[in-house]
């Protein structure tokens, strides 16, 4: 998708589709929002995955072995898209971090049918009503997540062969349908890049070493924790 082209093809931004009469301010503002939103979401999710790495010690050795193998194969050179594809355990770990850590409500969408929309369960909402998704409903449903949905199990997605970028009903982090996030491939690769390098070089812990209970502020998950501690691995590569 070329975002600029989307605006140039939109008569509300480009009246009569005249390229000499484009609402430049609107485009600049919108691009600014996308830049901010994509950086915030990616860095926020990277931080969450780092905490999961610090808290879930039982997965570190396996992730370290995978990272070492990939590092050996690429001779310590820059990572290529092919190398990112090989990080299958890390991919599943990141996806589990996505699943395990989310707000209760999100992804607001407006009802745009002509008058009234009827859900499968008979509940009705009028045109113009905002509807929010209940993430807990899908993210912790045993029927779609498999055994022990409340438990952080890093390799559950690997066992289903469902990568972190795959759009599916049981993980709504990147939305759904034709407007689902097109930046998710870049985001997941960035998170992989950070974690891959951290795993190779550091043992990560937190100041208290304890996993704090989840605290919600209304429907929003509170993300304030103690500090992360990075200790150089004795067997660290370069």
List contacts with ligand HEM (CB under 6 A): 3, 34, 38, 41-42, 45, 107, 173-177, 179-184, 186-187
Nearer to ligand HEM, 31 or 116 (CB): 31
Q: How far is the CB of 211 from ligand HEM (least distance, A)?
A: 22
DSSP 26-42: HHHHHHHHHHHHHHHHH
Nearer to ligand HEM, 2 or 58 (CB): 2
- C-alpha–C-alpha distance, residues 175 and 192, integer Å: 20
Q: How far is the CB of 132 from ligand HEM (least distance, A)?
A: 12
- C-alpha–C-alpha distance, residues 3 and 68, integer Å: 38
Q: Which residue's structure tokens are 């009705």?
A: 124
What ranges in 161-205 are assigned the alpha helix state H?
184-201
Nearer to ligand HEM, 139 or 203 (CB): 139
**Residue 220: beta bridge partners?**
217
Q: How far is the CB of 19 from ligand HEM (least distance, A)?
A: 22
- C-alpha–C-alpha distance, residues 155 and 35, integer Å: 31
Nearer to ligand HEM, 38 or 170 (CB): 38
By three-state DSSP, how is residue 142 classified? helix
Q: Is 147 exposed, middle or buried (0-12, 13-18, 19+ CB in 10 A)?
A: exposed
Nearer to ligand HEM, 62 or 176 (CB): 176
């Amino acid at each position: 998708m070329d975002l600029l082209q989307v605006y140039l093809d939109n008569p509300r931004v480009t009246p009569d589709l005249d390229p000499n009469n484009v609402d430049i301010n609107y485009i600049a503002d919108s691009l600014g929002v996308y830049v901010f939103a994509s950086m915030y979401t990616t860095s926020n999710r990277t931080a969450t995955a780092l905490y999961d790495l610090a808290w879930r010690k039982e997965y570190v050795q396996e992730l370290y072995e995978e990272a070492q193998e990939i590092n050996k194969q690429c001779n310590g050179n820059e990572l290529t898209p092919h190398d990112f594809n090989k990080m299958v355990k890390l991919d599943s770990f990141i996806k589990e971090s996505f699943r395990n850590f989310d707000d209760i409500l999100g992804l607001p969408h407006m009802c745009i049918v002509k008058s009234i929309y009827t859900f499968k369960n008979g509940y009705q909402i009028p045109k113009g009503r905002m509807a929010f998704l209940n993430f807990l409903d899908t993210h912790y449903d045993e029927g779609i997540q498999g055994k022990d949905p409340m438990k952080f199990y890093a390799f559950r997605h690997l066992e289903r062969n469902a990568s972190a970028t795959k759009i599916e009903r049981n993980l709504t982090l990147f939305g759904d349908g034709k407007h689902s996030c097109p930046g998710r491939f870049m985001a997941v690769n960035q998170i992989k890049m950070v974690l891959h390098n951290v795993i190779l070089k550091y043992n990560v812990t937190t100041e208290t070493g304890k996993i704090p209970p989840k605290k919600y502020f209304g429907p929003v998950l509170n993300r304030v924790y103690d500090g992360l501690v990075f200790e150089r691995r004795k067997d660290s590569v370069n």
